Amino acid sequence: MDKKDNNTLSQGIFKNPSKDIPAGIVVFLVALPLCLGIALASGAPLISGLISGMIGGLVIGLLSRSHTSVSGPAASLSAVVLVAIQLLGSFQVFLLALMIGGLIQIALGFLKAGAIADYIPTNIIKGLLAAIGLILVFSQLPYAVGVEIDDSRLLDYSKDTFAGFEERVLMVVSSIAPGALVLSIISLGIMIFWDKTPLKRLKLFPPSLFVVILGVALNQLFKVFVPELFLEGVHLVNIPEVSQFSSLFTFPDFAAISNGKVWTYAFTIAIIGSIATLLNLEATDNLDPHKRRSPPNQELVAQGVGNTLTGLLGGIPITSVIVRSSVNIEAGAESKLSTLIHGFLLTISVLFLSNIINLIPLASLASILLLVGYKLTSFHMIRQMYHKGWPQFLPFAVTIIGILLTDVLLGVLIGSAISVFFLLRSNFHNPYFIETTNPTNKKKTIRLELSNEVSFLNKPAIKRTLWNLPKGSKVIVDASFSSYIEPDIIEIFKDYKQTFAVENNIDFSILGMGENLSSKKKIILDRKDTQDRTDLNSPQKILNFLEEGNKRYTDGDLVSRRYQNKKLKDFIKVDPLAVMVNCIDMREPLNMLMNTGIGDLIPLKVAGNLLDRHLIESIEISCRKQKARLILIMGNTSNKLILSSLKKILENPDSCSPLLVPAINEKFFKPEQLTKANLEEWSERLMAWNLEFSKNLILSQNQYLNHEISLGKIGLCTAIFDRKSGKIEFSPLHISEKVTNNNP
């Protein structure tokens, strides 16, 4: 690391000491019983848990680039450690396996195995957080009320959370320690209502640190004034005293390097520890209020260095720990300075401060963890996940239940399996888009547009659809937009075309692939059914192209032209073909009606197809600046706007809609000619007249367009869309009687 990196690191760590230092103290206080409890659950010496806590805070805290993650003894590996120590014969041989496991983790980091974290679904991460929250609540309630469940008051994560649940309930009811209950109620009340009291002005004391100090003070007052509330012995933190510094460490037995079981457990520790770290790291990043992302590969290297060192010095496996990390974030930590302080305080407490630390009531620490657990298992989050639907909620719920009934890793794997099931189910249902393009005809045309990638997972859906199509239908499979089609799918198409389609009189064709249905992995598009844009270099060719597209629409032979527009920037690189003027009454998609690509047409909407000066200027800009080479003014049958205007005349002869004024002024239409019997006839006649009127208006009012049209550089025509049949009747291109030589 160069000097510049050191300066940047220092500035980042010491940017918010007023928040990080108190947070580090709180995490240290929470980490103490966790370190001891996990060591006990692992069947290792109690001091080994503290060694791992110190290395997790100081070494991994320094090497990690996570701002809020805190590492320490791994509860997820406690069962593995317990069995490994027994089978390997001694704690020293186990330390050798742990050291090798750390080296394997370093290798995984350099091999960029941390990328697996990016593939963990968010609902699984939220399920993990909610489950950890519930475990905290269940495990801390006895401590909060002063009930001793086991021989030890330490946290034991190696046992089933619900084991002996009824016994615990009876024990809680019969043996509550009043002093612990009082401290818990006071502590929870202070933390919950902290922001509504004058205490919030204590910037250097977060509520969690304040309640710990208050708990010690109140318990000492209980000793003097209310002895029956005084807590001692198993109700307090208990750090073993260290007589000599050298007695802290235990070293690995290198003579067992050739033992196959050592290597087996080394890989087990490395794999499980790495997965647990990545899960907790992703969960911690989700809790970070700044939503900063931690580099997973760097984290694996840091964890590997930490586990190698803890194996050399007599610790137990280390991972990123979500409980400490969530407490760290809740306490207001902004950088990893809080992690380093927590590691430093663990070291100091082991060496010099055991007598002071042992005064802290466990009820005060339990209150902090109860509140953290409640926030992790937020009812708002559960409700939010439920409203996202079963594909999101069910894996979330299964993850919670799986973790509570088994352990973290197995629960996450079960939840992930459910998530994969919904993913496969989604692929099963969505390999294509299907539509019937001409349902009014006797011979139905059914079009299946395949998705971008079609894999073997889509086989059941495709087979079910094809083999259930009606006899005598026309089937078009459009693969124009597909970049990959599994060879198995191509074989299905071959079999269907050669046998089932023939026997059931089904006209089966595929667009976007060669006739031989090549089974190459990369599909080569067959573009013989598409028009090369470079050929559309004249108004007449563009008009022919639009006529052909409309015929494809009415015949049900639409060609997907989306392959021309895979990127948005493609739309603006290619000149548009035509500017389309149609009535605001017409809402049918122009691209589908004429089978054009996105961006081929510039649509302009106007009431009743009547143009004015401003719209004609827009048409000029479309042709002059955007290079459109065809102006198409298109009306539609059953025009509701014109029909409504005519009905108003029947109701009130003195009324006259602006849509009818030009026709009345030109004496094409006289209101007295209108009757109920000829209402629809006049609607169609006026629609067609308005088209011609607007066409002539363009020629008479815009010199540039008139000149370009007369030279044949821009085409001008009208068209009428029949809403019943879908067919568009195009007029021939306008031909000027004489060419003007005045260049505008």
What is 335-346 written as a DSSP string?
Answer: STHHHHHHHHHH
Q: What is the pLDDT of residue 540?
A: 93
Give the model's confidence band at 740: pLDDT under 50 very low, under 70 low, under 90 confident, else very high.
very low
Average pLDDT over residues 589-597: 84
What's the per-residue H, E or C state across 694-705?
A: HHHHHHHHCHHH
pLDDT at position 741 is 41
Share of the chain above pLDDT 90, in %: 35
Q: Is the pLDDT of residue 212 over 60?
A: yes
At 460-495, the pLDDT tens digits run 778 888 888 888 888 888 887 777 788 888 888 888
Of 39-48, 84-93, 735-744, which range is least confident? 735-744
> What was the pLDDT predicted at 165?
60
Lowest mean pLDDT among 81-95, 501-515, 605-619: 501-515
Q: List Cα–Cα distances, 50 to 38, 269, 288, 331, 365, in angstroms.
A: 10, 19, 26, 22, 17
pLDDT category at 2 given cuts 50, 70, 90 is very low
Indicate if the alpha-carbon torsion angle 126, 128, 129, 135 is positive or negative: positive
Looking at 67-76, 338-347, 632-641, which range is the least confident one? 67-76
Q: Which amino acid, residue 410?
A: L
What pLDDT score does 739 carry?
A: 44
Q: Binning pLDDT at 50, 70 and 90, where does residue 71 land?
A: very high
**583 labelled as ligand-binding?**
yes
Average pLDDT over residues 166-176: 68
Distance CA 301, CA 52 (A): 16
Give the fold, CATH level 3, of 533-730.
Beta-carbonic Anhydrase; Chain A (3.40.1050)
Tell me, what amino acid is at 220? Q
Q: Which residue has the higher pLDDT, 241 or 323?
A: 323
Four-CA torsion 79, 82, 83, 88, nearest 10 degrees: 150
Among the listed ranges 170-179, 261-270, 342-351, 536-545, which one has the minimum average pLDDT value? Answer: 170-179
Q: Are 586 and 611 in contact (CB under 8 A)?
A: no
Q: How far apart are CA 641 and CA 645, in angstroms?
A: 6
For residue 443, the model assigns a pLDDT of: 64
User: Cβ neighbours of residue 678 under 8 Å, at least 6 residues apart?
Assistant: none
> How many other β-carbons are positioned within 10 Å of the β-carbon of residue 167?
10
Q: Cα 483 to chain center, whole Å? A: 24
Hey, what's the torsion of the CAs at 219, 220, 224, 228, to 10 degrees? 20
Residue carrying structure tokens 């309630």: 141
Task: Read off the tokens for 691.
Answer: 């088209």
**Tokens 């976007």 found at:** 512
Check the annotation: does 529 bind a ligand: no
pTM for this entry? 0.56
- Residue 339: burial class (beta carbons within 10 Å; 0-12, 13-18, 19+): buried
Q: Span 618-629, mean pLDDT? A: 92
Query: How many C-alpha atoms does 92 have within 13 Å on its Cβ side?
Result: 9
Other C-beta atoms lying within 10 Å of the C-beta of residue 419: 23
pLDDT at 5: 45
pLDDT of residue 162: 54
Q: How many CB atoms lie within 10 A of CB 630?
A: 25
| In this structure, CATH architecture of domain 432-511 | 2-Layer Sandwich (3.30)
Q: Is residue 82 scored above 70 in pLDDT?
A: yes
C-alpha span between 350 and 360 (Å, rounded): 15
Residue type, 657: S
Which of 536, 526, 528 has the alpha carbon at shortest distance from 574? Answer: 536
pLDDT at 10: 44
Q: Are 45 and 327 in contact (CB under 8 A)?
A: no
The average pLDDT across 326-335 equals 89
**Coil, strand or helix: which one is 259?**
coil
> pLDDT at position 567, please?
47
Q: Give mean pLDDT, residues 39-43.
A: 71
Distance of alpha carbon 585 from alpha carbon 89, whole angstroms: 86
Cβ proximity of 87 and 323 under 8 Å: no
User: What integer is the mean pLDDT of 120-127?
Assistant: 83
Read off the pLDDT of each residue in 627-647 and give the average, rounded to a whole number.
Answer: 92
Alpha carbons 402 and 397: distance in angstroms, whole number: 9
Output the pLDDT for position 570.
Answer: 53
Q: What is the CA radius of gyration of the chain?
A: 38
**DSSP element (H, E) containing 669:** none
| Per-domain boundaries in the chain | 14-378, 432-511, 533-730
- Average pLDDT over the chain, rounded to an integer: 82
With pLDDT > 70 as the criterion, what percentage of the chain qualifies? 84
Contacts of 238 (CB under 8 A, 6+ apart): 36, 153, 154, 358
The region of weakest confidence among 180-194, 442-456, 603-617, 687-701 is 442-456
Q: Which residue has the tokens 């007369």?
A: 710
pLDDT tens digits, 394-452: 999 999 999 888 777 788 889 989 988 887 776 665 566 777 765 555 567 888 888 77
Q: How far apart are alpha carbons 106 and 100 in whole angstroms?
A: 10
How much is the average pLDDT of 320-347?
91
- Beta 601-606 vs 318-320: how paired, if at all? unpaired
Quick check: helix, strand or coil at residue 432?
Answer: strand
Q: Where are the alpha helices (DSSP H) in 652-723?
A: 661-665, 679-701, 703-710
Q: 700: which 2 tokens?
A: 């008479």
Residue 24 has pLDDT above 80, yes or no: yes
Look at 246 and 104; give whichever has higher pLDDT. Answer: 104
In the 3-class helix/strand/coil scheme, how is 572-592 assigned residue by residue? HHCCCCEEEEEECCCCCCHHH
User: 240 pLDDT exceeds 80?
Assistant: no
Q: Which pLDDT score is estimated for 243? A: 67
Instruction: Name which residue leads in pLDDT, 209 or 521.
Output: 209
